[in-house]
Amino acid sequence: MKKARLIYNPYSGDRTFRIKLDMVIDKLQKGGYEVIPHRTMSVDDIYKSFFAGGTFDCVIVSGGDGTINHVINAMIKNDLDVPVGIIPSGTSNDFAAHLNIPKRVSQACDIIVKGNIIEIDVGKINERYFVNVAAAGLLTDVSQKIDINLKNTLGKMAYYIKGIEQLPNFKAIPISIQHNDNLIEEMVYLFVILNGSTAGGFKLAPDATAFDGKLNLIAVKECNIIELFNLFIKMLKGEHLESSNIIYLKGKEFEINCKENIETDIDGESGPDFPLNISISDKKLKVFVP
């Protein structure tokens, strides 16, 4: 029987995964896995103790994008090269959505048991890795600032409420982007670097995949409020990439700097300070997919 390390965040999403834990173990056992669960108590706990207990044939993660991020970073740091199974249970599960992994726990378990594995790319930003998105600017730190109870009660609506609170603070930031031999200097409201296609529930890079060996950079230029509103409407329709108020670049490496002290975000978690050296690590991670 194969061994699986199940790492779950009891505070993710609506906090109901713990109620489904026995069902998860039952499905995985019937699928040929001996399951060793680990309840995360903190971010540091993921890095310090989830490898205790010997070697494993796979690691299964139940949580949102932030939990997945920390598990992946811990695995890479410890040179653990085994497949990862994802059971989406966060408020926002953009990476799982990009891989077409369903939110229903039983269906996510079925995918792991089925055993279809692909190799995907992972982004690297300074000394940290990200599976889905790295970002900075307007609204990109919303997930870090939301009260956990509001987030668990209202789900994605909490992100929108927090975003509305920040509208009076709209302020463009000066950034420089070094890409290949080109230097772009621009005032922007925000930028995102995507490994997948989705961030915050928006399909920002519709044609992107997590296994094409490239990252997708999208930045929203400074513009008036009417243009910005119209741009968000275009984002909902997937028509934003042709806008003159959008910078859209694809590549393997970017260097981004900002003269202002603003926070960055990696998969919904606090990221590093500028300057940012961002690159793609081809086929760095094995993942169970439908």
Residue-wise pLDDT tens digits, 232-284: 888 878 888 889 999 999 999 999 999 888 889 899 888 999 999 999 999 99
Residues 172 and 111 in one domain: no
Choice between 57 and 207, residue whose per-residue pLDDT is larger: 57
On whether residue 204 sits in a domain, the answer given is: yes
Same domain, 92 and 133: no
DSSP string, 104-140: SHHHHHHHHHHT-EEEEEEEEETTEEESSEEEEETTT
Flag whether 258 is in a domain. yes
**Residue 172 belongs to some domain of the structure:** yes
Structural domain contains residue 193: yes
Q: What is the span of the domain harbouring residue 229?
A: 128-282
Q: Is the pLDDT of residue 26 over 70?
A: yes
Domain boundary among 85, 115, 145: 115
Looking at residue 15, its amino acid is R
Q: What is the pLDDT of residue 195?
A: 93
CATH number at residue 52: 3.40.50.10330
Same domain membership, residue 259 and residue 173: yes
Residues marked as catalytic? 269
My answer on whether 174 and 245 are in the same domain is yes
pLDDT in tens, 122-141: 999 999 999 999 998 875 44
Q: Which of 60, 80, 115 marks a domain boundary? A: 115
Tens digits of residue pLDDT in 182-207: 999 999 988 999 998 877 767 788 88
Could you tell me if 89 and 9 lie in one domain?
Answer: yes
At residue 160 the predicted structure's pLDDT band, cuts being 50, 70 and 90, is: very low
pLDDT at 144: 46
In a domain, 219, yes or no: yes
Residue 201 domain-assigned (yes or no): yes
Q: What percent of the chain has pLDDT over 90?
A: 58
- C-alpha–C-alpha distance, residues 82 and 111, integer Å: 16
Q: Is residue 122 part of a domain?
A: no
Q: Quick check: 27 pLDDT over 70?
A: yes
Q: Which of 80, 115, 150 is the last residue of a domain?
A: 115
Pairing relationship of beta strands 58-63 and 2-8 according to DSSP bridges:
parallel
What is the rounded distance in angstroms from the CA atom of residue 11 to the CA atom of residue 13?
7
Residues 257 and 159 in one domain: yes
- Quick check: 155 pLDDT over 60? no
- Report how far residue 260's alpha carbon sits from residue 84's, in angstroms, rounded to the nearest whole number: 37
Residues 152 and 181 in one domain: yes
Give the C-alpha separation, 38 to 129, whole Å.
22
CA-closest candidate to residue 150, choices 141, 164, 161: 161
| Count: domains in the chain | 2
Q: Are strands 198-199 and 202-203 parallel, antiparallel or unpaired?
A: antiparallel
Tell whether 249 is covered by a domain: yes
Task: Report the CATH number that the domain containing residue 205 is assigned in CATH.
Answer: 2.60.200.40
User: Quick one: pLDDT at residue 275?
Assistant: 96
Please indicate whether residue 141 or residue 43 has the higher confidence score (pLDDT). Answer: 43
- CB count within 10 Å of CB 148 equals 11
pLDDT on residue 92: 75
Which pLDDT belongs to residue 171?
Answer: 80
The mean per-residue pLDDT over the stretch 107-114 comes to 97
**Comparing 87-91, 151-155, 261-265, which segment has the lowest mean pLDDT?**
151-155
Residues 245 and 208 in one domain: yes
Residues 60 and 181 in one domain: no
In a shared domain, residues 111 and 132: no
Is the pLDDT at 164 greater than 60? The verdict is no
Same domain, 141 and 244: yes
> Pick the residue with more confidence: 231 or 151?
231
Same domain, 73 and 161: no
